[in-house]
Amino acid sequence: MKSRKLLAMLLAASMVASFASCNASEETTTSSEDTASNSSSETSTTSTEPAKTSTDSGVLAATTGVTAEDILARDYSEPITISFAGIQCTDGFDYTHGNEYYDWWSDTFNIEWDVISLSFDTWVERLNTWINADDLPDWSVWNFTPGDAANYAEQGLVYEMPENWKTEYPNLAAAATCSEANAHYEELYGGMYYFFRPTFANNFPADLITNHMSLMIRTDWAEQAGFTLSGLDTRTISESEFFAYCRAVKDAGLTDVPLYTSSGGIGTLLGKVAEANGTMESAYYKADDGMYHWGPAEEETGIKEGLRKIKQAYDEGLIYQEFYTMQSPDDAGHFYAAGDGAAVVIEGMASTFDNFAVEMQNNLNLDFWEVASPMIITDDNGVAQDTPSTNYWGVNILSPNIDEATYERIMSIWDYGCTEEGQLRIRLGLPDVDWTYDENGEVVSLLDGGYAALTEKYTTMSPITGNMFILSDDYSFINPSISKEARDLVSDLYIERAKIASTIGEEPDWDLLSYSSQAMNLASMTYADEYANIITKSGDFDANYDQWVSDKMAMIQPVLDELNAAFSE
Amino acid sequence: MAATAKTEKVVTAAQATGLQKVAINMRKYWQIYILIIPAVVWYIIFAYYPMAGLQLAFKTYKAKIGIWGSPWCGFQNFEAVFRDVYFWRSVGRTLVINLGRLVINFPAPILLALMLNELRVGRYKKVMQTIFTFPHFLSWVIVASIMTNLLSVDGLVNSALGAMGLDSVNFLGSEVLFQPMLYITDIWKSAGYSSIIYLSAISGIDQDQYEAAEIDGATRWQRIWHVTLPNILPTVSVLFIMTTGGLMTAGFDQIFNLSNAATKNVAEVLDMYIYRITFTASTDFGFSTAVSLFRSIINMTLLVIANKGSKMMGGTGLFG
């Protein structure tokens, strides 16, 4: 009994240590001891060092007391079939023995996968239907919505973790601390129902987690048009400068339509140029007066003015006339394949840059690193508008009807996936086949063609294992199968954004993030589409915008009344 | 005693009305009635039993305790529905679009059937019928994609306009053109298939009537007007009544796939509204059921009115 208590205390202490290392990357002032920050400086533009592995950083280094070897040494003699529902799975692919990569997982954990492939457009509907029908697969990836989540937890429609899960699966517990959402909602719902999958865990290079959306522009065209990009060194561009760049390349005859983008891209652009107080996603925010307001109706958010500039650019022909019909990656295709786009809104991630490099070389015979650059969008005061990060994307949920053996097997797989060994296997493939350690102890890829070669060799590796808990974004900063240029570039962007983000010192508004009501449901809308509609509407912009706000307030006011009654100061 | 009972039975059968007649008929023709059992069972299982779910409109749904166990909430869901200005707008929009369909799209398959019926070369008629019917089997996702390629600013139609020296037209982003586009695509996709029922009604017309008309010197147009149309009028009436009964249902698939951010203000019909409140926010099955129930009641009311109206005008009702 005493030894158990001692073990529990040791585990608790190790988890606190890992929590500290994890949270350090989310705070604006971080400890210089923070290994994640250390690795960031090593992967900045000035770095010539090879990428570091996660050996000595973050939660994976935490002494959880349970190593990968311990997890693999457990008794898996009973064969288990695990049903899994997730997006981006490939129908018809044998996830149990489709390739050597999945062979290892299936053989080691003695499992068979029963995979249900979900598409992005029906993902939410299907899972909500299954949850409400009490017919969930063993493990699903769900798009968390607070109203449903509270309801499902209250009714026991999703599995509640037993009290000992943190001690039984300490690597998972340590990784879970990387997203504040895990602790917040565990406390709010009185139990652990949802595993918020952290986007970043060990390798984030900056002191503040920011949004990765950026603009990609043609630097060679700017030069040809005689346009000076003032923020090229820091990779920043203000809204006004961006539209001036678009105008310059159009006037120079380099393209007819500088910006190809989707409605979502317009929403992103607006979110990044307006002083939006983080209102682009939920649109509600608590202002200095301590009361909740609706962003589009308030002058201080700058949404109207930002939209006016975008509307003006649209009317000038700087934005593709039918942007509202565009889908990704068609917008990017104009940039890297057709070669007629001067800019595109992108997810500024390392693999994106490598992908652009390959496509531009293949299609346009251009060297991406010479002719293009991702840029952080700022307002005219040089501030990158953002929302405080909760550092997660999607949640893992288990069926309330799951049997104990299946539960234990899934948790062991997750726990293993959060160890260093697990991460290397997930990100790089099989040791000594796809990657190995060099003489300096650094991880090196054995595959020609890096990340692309890996995903080609093991198609469909990411839907189940790749994003089983810690998302792939985290390892991309040090992933040796991604080019060093791309890794350095993405690190630079995060580091720069952290310096100029509007969210410095701000915390997520958990009251708002956790709130749900019928009024809020009725007031739900896709803001990017709303803004796209205003941009394309003919007639007087002010009249159209004011009319839209006035229309919407009929739905919005009840929400504001509820929020202010519950949370105003 | 047995004779008395037999006499009573005969008298009862002769004097029976309504349900009694049905019962007597069923006893008499029981072999025939057995044949409809599968259809009746199907309706009970898939149409009538699920109607029990309508009680959700008056409940706060709790999945764990099911539809029957969920707590009642009175008219709370309806109050929320009726308070929402966007609900009423979607109702209005649905009615406007569907009234347009009734005027523009409903006659299309009738005209097509009449035209196909006038074709004299059998093989050509079959080829044309196949061509007109084929689009029905395309999903709206495919049709929307074809439309986008045809009508986008750099699509086929605008390229042709450009070649003729005309300005390009923003077909896909125009709120004004959205409704006509719905009608045109609907006619293109459905008229051929819908015309089959009229063609079958036409094929059932007694050929003697045409011969008599021809002997009387009737022109082809007069034969259509005075023979074909009056003969298919009962079919037209029934389908008109059925269409009127669906006036509050505007075809989610079509509008969902053809609309976009630029046309969203004219595209949020009732189905789109239900989709938005059900799937773009937290799921609220009670609320969604309330909206659906409201729609069904209006549809049912319109159906009954159309049925009565048809009968009053001397036409055929749904039940003869």
Q: How far A279 CA lies from chain B's nearest CA (Å)?
A: 17
**What's residue A39's pLDDT?**
30
Q: Is A324 on the interface with B (CB under 8 A)?
A: yes
Lowest mean pLDDT: which of A58-72, A119-133, A248-262, A522-536?
Answer: A58-72
From A158, which residue of chain B is nearest by alpha-carbon distance? Answer: B64
Minimal Cβ distance to A524: which of B172, B264, B276: B276
Strand order across the beta sheet in which A80-87 lies: A111-118, A80-87, A139-142, A395-398, A195-196
What residues of chain A, 141 to 200, have a C-beta less than 8 Å from chain B?
A: 145-148, 151, 155-157
Decide: helix, strand or coil at residue A438. Answer: coil
Sequence spans of domains, chain B: 75-312
Question: What average pLDDT does this structure show over B57-78?
Answer: 90
Minimal Cβ distance to B282: which of A125, A147, A325: A147
Residue A319 has pLDDT above 50, yes or no: yes
Partner-chain contact A322 B173, CB within 8 Å:
yes
Q: Is A80 on the interface with B (CB under 8 A)?
A: no
Greater confidence (A48 vs A67) lies with: A67
Q: How far is CA B198 from the centre of its chain?
A: 15
Question: What average pLDDT does this structure show over A464-475?
Answer: 88
Decide: helix, strand or coil at residue A157. Answer: coil
What residues contact residue A301 under an 8 Å CB cut-off, 6+ apart?
A274, A275, A276, A277, A279, A285, A295
What residues contact residue B295 under an 8 Å CB cut-off, 6+ apart?
B248, B249, B270
Q: Taking the CA atoms of A387, A392, A394 and A396 in sequence, report the sign of the dihedral they define.
A: negative
Count interface pairs A-B at CB distance under 8 A.
89
From B273, which residue of chain A is nearest by alpha-carbon distance? Answer: A522
Identify the band that residue B1 occupies on the pLDDT scale cut at 50, 70 and 90: very low
Residue A277 has pLDDT above 80, yes or no: no
Domain range A9-25+34-205+392-484, CATH architecture:
3-Layer(aba) Sandwich (3.40)
How far is the C-alpha of B273 from the C-alpha of B89, rounded, in Å? 10
* pLDDT, chain B, mean: 88
From B266, which residue of chain A is nearest by alpha-carbon distance? Answer: A533
Residue B100 has pLDDT above 70, yes or no: yes
The Cβ of residue B31 has, within 10 Å, a number of other Cβ atoms equal to 7
Contact (CB, 8 A) for A193 and A229: no
Minimal Cβ distance to A324: which of B61, B173, B287: B173
How far is the C-alpha of A415 from the C-alpha of A170, rounded, in Å? 7
Greater confidence (A480 vs A290) lies with: A290
Helices of type H across A73-226: 100-109, 123-132, 146-155, 165-168, 170-176, 180-189, 219-224
From A121, which residue of chain B is nearest by alpha-carbon distance? Answer: B279
Q: How far A463 CA lies from chain B's nearest CA (Å)?
A: 23
Count Cβ neighbours within 10 Å for each residue of A391-403 and write b for 16 or more, e otherwise. Answer: bbbbbbbbbbebe
- The residues of B whose Cβ lies within 8 A of any Cβ of A are 61-65, 80, 84-86, 148, 152-153, 170, 172-173, 260-262, 264-265, 276-277, 279-285, 287
Partner-chain contact A526 B64, CB within 8 Å:
no
Identify the band that residue A357 occupies on the pLDDT scale cut at 50, 70 and 90: very high
Q: Is A379 on the interface with B (CB under 8 A)?
A: no
Chain B residues within 8 A of A533 when measuring between CB atoms: 261-262, 264-265
| Residue A234 in tokens | 């820091």
Identify the band that residue A60 occupies on the pLDDT scale cut at 50, 70 and 90: low
Phi, psi of A299 (to 5 degrees): -60, -35
What confidence tens digit (pLDDT) does each residue in A19-34 have? 344 443 333 322 222 2
Greater confidence (A472 vs A62) lies with: A472
From A320, which residue of chain B is nearest by alpha-carbon distance? Answer: B153
Greater confidence (A518 vs A537) lies with: A537
Q: How far A434 CA lies from chain B's nearest CA (Å)?
A: 41
Q: Which CATH number fits domain B75-312: 1.10.3720.10, 3.30.1490.100, 3.40.1360.10, 3.40.1160.10?
A: 1.10.3720.10
Partner-chain contact B261 A146, CB within 8 Å:
no
Residue A198 has pLDDT above 90, yes or no: yes
| Residue A378 in tokens | 């700022």
Question: What average pLDDT does this structure show over A75-99?
Answer: 91
Question: What average pLDDT does this structure show over A236-257?
Answer: 95
Partner-chain contact A533 B282, CB within 8 Å:
no
What predicted TM-score, i.e. pTM, was given to this entire model? Answer: 0.79
**What's residue A392's pLDDT?**
93
What residues contact residue B67 under an 8 Å CB cut-off, 6+ apart?
B52, B53, B55, B56, B59, B61
Best residue of B59, B64, B167, B291 to probe chain A, by most A CBs closer than 10 Å: B64
Partner-chain contact B287 A521, CB within 8 Å:
yes
Contact (CB, 8 A) for A422 and A68: yes
How far is the C-alpha of A502 from the C-alpha of A272, rounded, in Å? 10
What confidence tens digit (pLDDT) does each residue in A106-121 have? 999 999 999 999 888 7
The Cβ of residue A302 has, within 10 Å, a number of other Cβ atoms equal to 23
Decide: helix, strand or coil at residue A394. Answer: coil
Phi, psi of A263 (to 5 degrees): -60, -40
What confidence tens digit (pLDDT) does each residue in B12-25 have? 556 677 788 888 88
Partner-chain contact A524 B281, CB within 8 Å:
yes
| Parallel/antiparallel/unpaired status of strands A213-218 and A372-378 | antiparallel
What residues of chain A, 125 to 144, have a C-beta less than 8 Å from chain B?
A: 125, 128, 131-134
Give one DSSP letter per residue of A198-246, joined into a string.
-S-SS---SSS----EEEEEEHHHHHHTT---TTTTTTEEEHHHHHHHH
How far is the C-alpha of A544 from the C-alpha of A530, rounded, in Å? 12
Cis check: omega of the bond before A198, within 30 degrees of 0: no
Chain A residues within 8 A of B285 when measuring between CB atoms: 132
Decide: helix, strand or coil at residue A283. Answer: coil
Partner-chain contact A533 B265, CB within 8 Å:
yes
Partner-chain contact B173 A533, CB within 8 Å:
no
Q: How far B291 CA lies from chain A's nearest CA (Å)?
A: 13
- Of the candidates A82, A86, A192, the residue with the CA atom closest to the CA atom of residue A141: A86
Question: What average pLDDT does this structure show over B52-60?
Answer: 92
From B89, which residue of chain A is nearest by alpha-carbon distance? Answer: A551
The Cβ of residue B233 has, within 10 Å, a number of other Cβ atoms equal to 15
CA-only gyration radius of chain A, Å: 24
Q: Is A399 on the interface with B (CB under 8 A)?
A: no
**What's residue A280's pLDDT?**
52
* Local structure of residue A162 (DSSP, 8 states): P
Contact (CB, 8 A) for A545 and A304: yes
Best residue of B260, B263, B275 to probe chain A, by most A CBs closer than 10 Å: B260
